[in-house]
Structure 1
Amino acid sequence: MVGMTSPRPAPAQPAVLARLAAAGLEADTSPRRLAEYSYDASNYRVPPLAVVFPRSPGDVVAAVAACRDTGTPLTGRGGGTSMAGNAVGPGLVLDFSRHMNRIHGIDEAAGTVSVDPGVVLSVLSREVERTTRGRFTFAPDPSSRTRATVGGAVGNDACGNHSVRYGRTSDHVVELDVVTADGARLTAAAGQLRATDPADSASAARAAELTQGLKELAQANLAAFRTELGRIQRQVSGYHLGHLLPEHGFDVARALVGSEGTCAIVTGARMKLVPRPASALLVCLGYADVVEAARDITTILGFSPAAVEGIDEAIVETMRFRRGAGAVRGLPAGKAWLYVDLDGDDPDAVAAEARKLLARLRTNGRLVDGRAVPDPAERASLWRVREDGAGLSSRLAGGGESWPGWEDSAVAPENLADYLADFRTLLDRHGLTGVMYGHFGAGCMHIRITYDLRTEAGRAVFRAFSREAAELVVRHGGSLSGEHGDGRARSELLPVMYSPALLAAFAEYRRLWDPAALLNPGSLTDPDPIDAQLALAGVPERQWRTSFDLRPVHAGGHALAETDDPATGSRVDPWVHAVQGCIGVGRCRTGSGGVMCPSYRATRDEKDSTRGRARVLQEMVRGARTVEEGWKSAEVREVLDLCLACKACSSDCPTGVDMATYKAEFFHHYYRHRLRPLAHFSLGWLPRWLKVTGQVAPLVNAVLSTPLARAAAVLGGLTTRRALPRFAAAGEWRRQVAAAGTAPATDGGGTVLFVDTFTRGFRPEVAGAAARVLAAAGRPAECAADACCGLTWISTGQLDTARKKLAHAAGVLDDGTDRPIVVVEPSCAAALRKDLPELVHTEQARRVAARVRSFAAHIGELAATGWQPAPAEPLPEHVILQTHCHEYSVFGAATQRQALAAAGIGTVTDATGCCGVAGNFGFEKDHYEVSMQVAEQALAPALRTAAGAVVLTDGFSCAMQVKQLDAARAGKHLAQLLDPDPPGAPRRPGLG
């Protein structure tokens, strides 16, 4: 018929997908999933065809067979933290971290542990220490150990902070179970390669064939293996074929380590354990610069340290800028620092050795300052700076960006100072800056560089510089890679380091294992160019109009004009720059420590990590095939669904990714001219509803006690499984505050007490307690309650209304003074402190934001002046602390603890983590299950183990979760603990 068109035929499904389905394997080919797995922690982007999450070695055999029969490339992946681009691939990606992550047995007598490849390194070491009662541990401890896996460590021959003592992963491998590209299941060990199952005749034949080929390869290349390999401690580049030499016992397992998944797929491993020292002491040393620090390395190594790590001032400045002045404690004077770990059985002997080391270094004359750091909190603070180095150096306090690519070179420790001096000259010649940190004691440097990978000219500099850097490190007797492997970042440069004969041996070694070249193509042999498939290339220039001011901010407190990168001069749209902040280090995938990312900890799915969300957003700004609808992208909407908007990523993520803000911005655009979820009206408009409910609170509360409450929840898009709060009568908060009296300020200083919507509507008694505490402190409060922070509109992406609310709040609160604005509800304090100046772009907004304090933060400031609270009721001996995530991220992780310490509360169980409610999230009907799973990460266990303790919940949402978990125990606000004159108690003199 005229005007009719034929329907577009569906694209043909690749044959490998049919083969996988026939084998019972679910291959995820959704655009969202492919976006998540197009990246690792490197500069590269390689979209896969599909992602599979194997549950057993049998699944791996089936996946390999499907790929072999269809000629589909296959790449194995653990935590996805590779900085060299060896965890991304063009065909099928196998993610072992999700299901194949079991520890099968710890044999203390033999000193070994048997594991799946997806076991996270920190989990492994923690379980070994628990099982052996602290006698043993698993040694390799790269900075990414809280998310990197055993399989990844084997693939890259990972080392870590204590490699001076314990070496590389290859030093700890006993046996590897692998699946070859032709489907054989083999076990590699010292002196042999055998079928994993002795009854598997086909695999046994393949083992015999490979053994013969490997022995012939070693025999034919004895001279090259002996003279070109194993020259320095951190020679990781290329294949580790020296282990095949007769004098090294023909160790096939150790030869496979560092092969980056190009030879076989690891499905299991037996690893060595090491004794755990009884005592350890950190000695921190300050120097004028990294070269001066490196010149003392040989002296330090003479004291047999377990670790010698180094950082430069750029990383320290960024840590302080991003997390506050108190984020780095115990650092001596200097502009570059070494961390030296000394250990032993006797703590007194270790301390004496530290004193000798400091004396010797002072004699050398290069040390600026140095000290032993016995305090565990200071040690943890210092080590966190080093461990977050990759992320911190990517977005610096000065506003510049740095990228990997040459972040992993190594030389002999005695050559490190001269190498670094020449390297800085090379950087200067190319107009680049390098941020330096790394394993100084092993001669391995992580140097992130201010390349401009967004422009063709910048990529040309990257290519030319990399070539010259390779030549430089080889002149100093070093290795292109000292830890992370070659991958896409350095494999093309291997001819600079190795002879044609050895490169030919590498190619033959790989061919013996994988004749069809299916495994992890593009790395080591027949490599891709180092400037191919760069993630920052090909992003179209476009102006993305946003409500939030997302321009990067200097340490000086002002945004960069036009978002110029001061290092490169290139201009990047603020939205693009923001979502590209994630560089893939994966700290959001940790299972413990900090608060980020609660939804990932609940589901263990990459899509629910901050990194997974950021990667999908990065595909959105590319307009890529996978995610191409921009602000209307269904994939982005899906990946943001379980984001609790807790803001923890803005402080816990080393690069400062703020997914809560990105979610609010995206929802603002996504739902424009589109029907919103019911919860966006019932919860997003909560301040409006509270004006009504306050007038008829008794009636509303009576209804909530009947079956009608369930119907009301359904109509509002809320879960029917959560207890709803009771509403306070209008004006109740005023009656509470009036009881605080009008005591004059002791030094002329007063405060503005901002009584927020949540406090007015649900917890008016907290407003009264806060006012009384402030009055007793000599800081009487003038109350402000005729404004709203707009939080509920922000969290649901209704930014036009949020901006109006915040602009009004700024007008109300800007009174011409610099009096602190103390906000009772921490989430509202965070909105006024952070969101106000980002949404309302005026000097007035910035003035008001600078004055805002959470109640706990203000108590800490008062305590610092010498004030001591005098509560009417005895303080509890034990407190469970549930810090609101927004207070954690905006005012500092230690804010609540410092306030409790000032009050004199000694025993605190810190339920570190999100409570799971997170404002509207936990009340929405589709999020209840995840909300309760999040509660089980910290809060629920704390409540069970400390049944009699008082629960401190300054956040209203936290209090609601406590009520849900333990109906008999109500959470208390800090103001209520410190209240000097609570209702019903005998009145204190001078308090009205």
Structure 2
Amino acid sequence: MTVPAALIDALRAEGLAPESSPRRLAEYSYDASNYRVVPAAVLFPRSEGEVSAALTVCHRLGVPVTARGGGTSMSGNSIGDGLVIDLSRQMNRVLRVDEEAGTATAQAGVVLTALRAAVHASTGDRLTFAPDPSSQTRACLGGAVGNDACGNHSVRYGRTADHVVELALVTADGLRVTATRNGIRATDPADTQAAARAEHLESELRALAADHLAAIRTELGRIPRQVSGYHLRHLLPEEGFDVARALVGSEGTCGVITSARVALVPRPATTSLIVAGYADIVDAARDVPLLLLHGPTAVEGVDEVIVETMRRRRGADAVADLPSGHAWLFIETDRGADAADELVHELRTAGHPVDVRQVHDPAERADLWRVREDGAGLSSRLTDPATGETISTWPGWEDAAVRPDLLADYLADFRDLLGRHGLTGVMYGHFGAGCMHIRIDFDLRTSQGRTVFREFCTDAAHLVVRYEGSLSGEHGDGRARSELLPIMYSDEMLTAFDRFASIWDPRGLLAPGGLRATRPIDADLALADVDPHPAQSCIGIGRCRTHSGGVMCPSYRATGDEKDSTRGRARVLQELVRGGAAADWDSPMVAESLELCLACKACSSDCPTGVDMAAMKSEALHRRYARRLRPRAHYTLGLLPTWLRFTPYAAGPLNRLLASRAGRAGARLGGLAQGRVLPQFASAARLRAELGRAPDSVGAPGPAEVVLFLDSFTRGLRPEVAGAAVRVLGGVHAAVACSEHHCCGLTQITTGRLDAARRTLRRTARHLDALDPEAPIVVVEPSCAAALREDLPRLLSEESVGAADAERARRVAARVRSVAVHLGRLAEQGRAPQWPDGPPEAVVLQTHCHEYATFGNRVQRATLTALGVGSIVEATGCCGVAGDFGFTAGHEEVSDAVAEQSLAPALRRHPDTPVLTDGFSCATAIRRLAVTDPAAGGATGADRRGRHLLELLDPDPLESHSADPAAGGGGPR
């Protein structure tokens, strides 16, 4: 729609701050669905009063309004063409937890896991909020109410509607009312206009229920997961005229929910997890009625394709050992060990599994639940095991539900339906509740594919209705299914639905496009006639918006702004590439979006769809600065490996200069951040002294067992690690080849100098391929190891360098190992190096983000455990330096905030524990924290530093690693 230019002015006149930049509109044009709708403006209200003011303005101007929380809707509920109101950014507080009443009150923008954490803390883990959809780490309470979200434990606890006590909302014309379990009242008793409106609403709703009693009683509430349509059955006399629950699942079409009071349930003291393997997904569904007799708390299922995709993307150890089978059920019970044993026995004797096992280890259980929770993302980008090609799947028919006892037959017929349309579907979901999530390989780009999409969804709607089911069992109807509701409901019921929405919003301004002013299911598709691009791997799952667990996305965790999330950046790039060859890579919105990306690569691992924003940022910088003057930091930091060729011969004077006032001023002129502790350059004499003390096995003639790659950072800035590397590996291998004159091109990659990076990588690949081609390549610096493992084959593709160099790149990349990976392999073989003074009792572990993303988030811990380290305290998260990011001017505040997410608190909690970090960037972060924060420095104060694992294992270190006399002796590095 064309929105009056007066909208922005009118909102500002009310003291509001709407945003309408191209970048902001791009970020909010998408959710986790197939759809794209560009809004007119986005607002981040701070209070219910501001929501009321905004709705009053929009009502006066006739502007549509769509409320939004985490933006994780898979049916298109959180996008709209008027004003989008994001409640997640500033209306996200838990207001009260009342253990005695068994309720909690929170604002609509609170994330579900944050609400649950507050309840646990307030009640001593005695109570919890039950609904736990897989998106709970970023989905908000308002969205759970809007869609009537459920989750893994709905088989025990039901839907969100079963837990809502009161809803505070703002009507379409800006009035504040509260819906209760037995009516409606003005939120502020002194507001006479709101009181009159509440009285009118209540009268109209009672009349509606009375006029359609028979239809409501016979058509609604038939199965546990009947989410489609409006929940009018709660208005019945036998339901107590429960207006609050009637509004649950209304998808934002009746009012903007600003807060909710919800009921809490007892939290189980202990649970047992049973995993059953099946020949296929239909066999798994046949056992659901048997399992339900045992009163489980959860019965969830996954397809083997999801499991295999998880293993390929995150390593073989990312999924715990599963029982035999091609599909699995995760069955949780809280009735004790005897009950779990009885359930296992009955499954084996009366069920259909091919194998069953109980899972006792907490970490293993967490891994399995993560596979289930990441199902939507994992199944969206599958790897064909036969061809290795990526298969993209999409929502659209992903959450229909039937009675659990009909699920198996429904799935069998559903598979036949997929086959008739030439489609493939990946299945997972809430088997215990009869609700299946199915992502399908629709072709949404071409007109022919969209025709198949429409025909299939129409046929699927008829199928689920034939099984007495619901088009939606959890995600709501939205743009994805509202058009199909006439297949499920009678004309009378559809009339009642329309009347219900019109009572609340006569002009239809709230959330049009879904349940109101319904759009065709094949309209507004984001991919329609758009060419493929890596940015489109983001499908809006939103895991990058979490504040705990994993590493992604550190800048979002620092700012809380969608623009700094991986998803926000991907959406901006998606808007950009819609222009095809005419895309403006110099657009300010691209620069704004990518400015605070640390290029930590954590998204490539933590994102369920494998979005690699570091690679996309590199490509964007390459395009933006082609044949143009670059930022100053690109010449100082981006060319650091080049400068490090010469610094060893003038290390002393350079270090003294950088420590002076003139040097600090020069650093600022070079685009470097203020207040950073700069690393010291190593002298050539120091490097020679370190490498000259290598065992005879290093450089020995004949085939080498291993190739040691000494990167630019290690040679020029951490010579003690170079020395430790040759001594440790030389002590356990009969022959070690040492590569000390080549580069991985990392800084060229991160600054977008991709042509130069390809030249560097081609030289390095040729050198390494000729150097003992069968030997593994152990790279001392984790970020360099990641560049050689992933960026090397990506950048040296056949299209860019030809078949011969591309094949060489693939061969070299396959041989690359980080130090932790290699030492772990040696430990498995019983050949691990020995600790000079025995293993440390405890270490604080800071894993480099690139190692975390490329070689696995468990590699460091597993290796240290295998080497006998007693206690490992993991500071899981980015250090804040991330290559050149923390040293670049303008990034200081975010860099410091990122360090505070995990690393700095870990250093303060363990002030006297050795800190292990193989990454040079992380070591510099630790050095700065030790210098600037006495609590982080501990007993050693400013001398506290992060040490490489090889340093701890070094059998013969030099007496002092804290100073390099030839380099100027400027204190600890």
- Structure 1's 473 and 731: CA in aligned 2 closer, same or farther, altered over 3 A? farther
- Structure 1's 709 and 977: CA in aligned 2 closer, same or farther, altered over 3 A? same
Displacement, 1:848? 1.0
Describe the SS at the equivalent of 1:28: coil
Q: Distance in 1 between matches of 2:65 and 2:516?
A: 16
Displacement, 1:628? 6.8
Conservation of the 8 A alpha-carbon contact between 2:54 and 2:174: no
Q: Distance in 2 between matches of 1:324 and 1:212?
A: 60
**Residue matched to 2:886:** 922
Conservation of the 8 A alpha-carbon contact between 1:373 and 1:379: yes
Q: Distance in 1 between matches of 2:84 and 2:956?
A: 63
- Which of 816, 837, 848 matches 2:793? 837
- Which of 950, 967, 982 matches 2:957? 982
**Residue matched to 1:46:** 37
Q: Distance in 1 between matches of 2:478 and 2:4?
A: 29
1:175-324 map, 5 Å: 175-324=166-315
* Percent identity (aligned): 62
Matched AA of 2:612: D
Q: Distance in 1 between matches of 2:614 and 2:726?
A: 31
Displacement, 1:732? 2.9
Conservation of the 8 A alpha-carbon contact between 1:747 and 1:778: no
1:412-427 map, 5 Å: 412-427=403-418
| Unmatched segments (≥5 aa) in structure 2 | 385-389, 798-805, 932-941, 961-973
1:460-609 map, 5 Å: 460-539=451-530, 541=531, 572=532, 576=533, 578-609=534-565
Describe the SS at the equivalent of 2:428: strand
- Which of 898, 909, 914 matches 1:934? 898
Q: Distance in 1 between matches of 2:553 and 2:671?
A: 25
- Structure 1's 695 and 507: CA in aligned 2 closer, same or farther, altered over 3 A? same
Tell me if 1:388 matches 2:374.
yes
- Listed one character per residue, the Cα deviations across residues 883-939 of structure 1 (whole Å, up to 9, x for unaligned) are 000000011111111121122112111010000100000000111110010001000
Matched AA of 1:772: R
**Residue matched to 2:802:** none
- Which of 376, 379, 382 matches 2:365? 379
- Listed one character per residue, the Cα deviations across residues 45-82 of structure 1 (whole Å, up to 9, x for unaligned) are 00000000000000000100110000000000000000
Conservation of the 8 A alpha-carbon contact between 1:43 and 1:534: yes
Tell me if 1:767 matches 2:722.
yes
1:939-958 map, 5 Å: 939-958=903-922
Q: Distance in 2 between matches of 1:275 and 1:660?
A: 43
**Residue matched to 2:773:** 817
Normalising by structure 1, report the TM-score.
0.93
Conservation of the 8 A alpha-carbon contact between 1:620 and 1:628: no
**Residue matched to 2:682:** 728
1:686-697 map, 5 Å: 686-697=640-651
**Residue matched to 2:603:** 649
**Residue matched to 2:740:** 785
Tell me if 1:910 matches 2:874.
yes
Conservation of the 8 A alpha-carbon contact between 1:786 and 1:812: no
Describe the SS at the equivalent of 2:382: coil
1:87-102 map, 5 Å: 87-102=78-93
Conservation of the 8 A alpha-carbon contact between 2:3 and 2:40: no
Describe the SS at the equivalent of 1:631: coil
- Which of 747, 750, 753 matches 1:798? 753
Describe the SS at the equivalent of 1:329: coil
**Residue matched to 2:575:** 619
**Residue matched to 1:104:** 95
Q: Distance in 2 between matches of 1:47 and 1:779?
A: 63
Conservation of the 8 A alpha-carbon contact between 1:17 and 1:27: yes
Conservation of the 8 A alpha-carbon contact between 1:52 and 1:92: yes
Displacement, 1:709? 2.2
**Residue matched to 2:935:** none
Matched AA of 2:191: D
Conservation of the 8 A alpha-carbon contact between 2:153 and 2:298: yes
- Listed one character per residue, the Cα deviations across residues 175-197 of structure 1 (whole Å, up to 9, x for unaligned) are 00000012221011111200001
**Residue matched to 2:693:** 739
Q: Distance in 2 between matches of 1:779 and 1:264?
A: 73
Q: Distance in 2 between matches of 1:89 and 1:408?
A: 22
Displacement, 1:702? 1.3
1:840-859 map, 5 Å: 840-841=796-797, 842-859=806-823
**Residue matched to 1:6:** none
Identify the range of structure 1 (879-888 vs 665-674) with the bigger mean alpha-carbon deviation.
665-674
Matched AA of 2:579: G
Displacement, 1:505? 0.4
Q: Distance in 2 between matches of 1:933 and 1:525?
A: 43
Displacement, 1:526? 3.4
Cα RMSD, aligned residues only: 1.6
Displacement, 1:453? 0.4
Identify the range of structure 1 (528-537 vs 902-911) with the bigger mean alpha-carbon deviation.
902-911
**Residue matched to 1:828:** 784
Displacement, 1:735? 2.4
Q: Distance in 1 between matches of 2:646 and 2:688?
A: 17
Q: Distance in 2 between matches of 1:747 and 1:485?
A: 67
Describe the SS at the equivalent of 2:302: strand
Conservation of the 8 A alpha-carbon contact between 1:882 and 1:958: yes
Displacement, 1:500? 0.3
Q: Distance in 1 between matches of 2:664 and 2:772?
A: 48
Identify the range of structure 1 (303-312 vs 873-882) with the bigger mean alpha-carbon deviation.
873-882
- Structure 1's 833 and 738: CA in aligned 2 closer, same or farther, altered over 3 A? same
- Structure 1's 119 and 779: CA in aligned 2 closer, same or farther, altered over 3 A? farther
1:378-457 map, 5 Å: 378-398=364-384, 399-457=390-448
Matched AA of 2:907: L
Conservation of the 8 A alpha-carbon contact between 2:10 and 2:57: yes
Conservation of the 8 A alpha-carbon contact between 2:704 and 2:737: no
Conservation of the 8 A alpha-carbon contact between 1:73 and 1:92: yes
Q: Distance in 2 between matches of 1:590 and 1:506?
A: 35
Identify the range of structure 1 (127-136 vs 949-958) with the bigger mean alpha-carbon deviation.
127-136
| Unmatched segments (≥5 aa) in structure 1 | 1-10, 345-349, 542-571, 986-992
1:18-97 map, 5 Å: 18-97=9-88
Describe the SS at the equivalent of 1:309: strand
**Residue matched to 2:707:** 752
**Residue matched to 1:970:** 945
Displacement, 1:780? 4.1
**Residue matched to 2:837:** 873
Displacement, 1:738? 2.5
Displacement, 1:984? 4.1
Displacement, 1:674? 2.3
- Structure 1's 220 and 321: CA in aligned 2 closer, same or farther, altered over 3 A? same
Identify the range of structure 1 (691-700 vs 444-453) with the bigger mean alpha-carbon deviation.
691-700
Q: Distance in 1 between matches of 2:583 and 2:609?
A: 26
Conservation of the 8 A alpha-carbon contact between 2:287 and 2:351: no
May I ask how many residue pairs the two structures share in their alignment?
Answer: 933
Conservation of the 8 A alpha-carbon contact between 2:36 and 2:524: yes
Conservation of the 8 A alpha-carbon contact between 2:704 and 2:772: no
**Residue matched to 1:367:** 353
Describe the SS at the equivalent of 2:383: coil
Conservation of the 8 A alpha-carbon contact between 2:839 and 2:869: yes
Q: Distance in 1 between matches of 2:5 and 2:282?
A: 54
Matched AA of 2:587: S
Describe the SS at the equivalent of 1:666: helix
Displacement, 1:773? 1.4
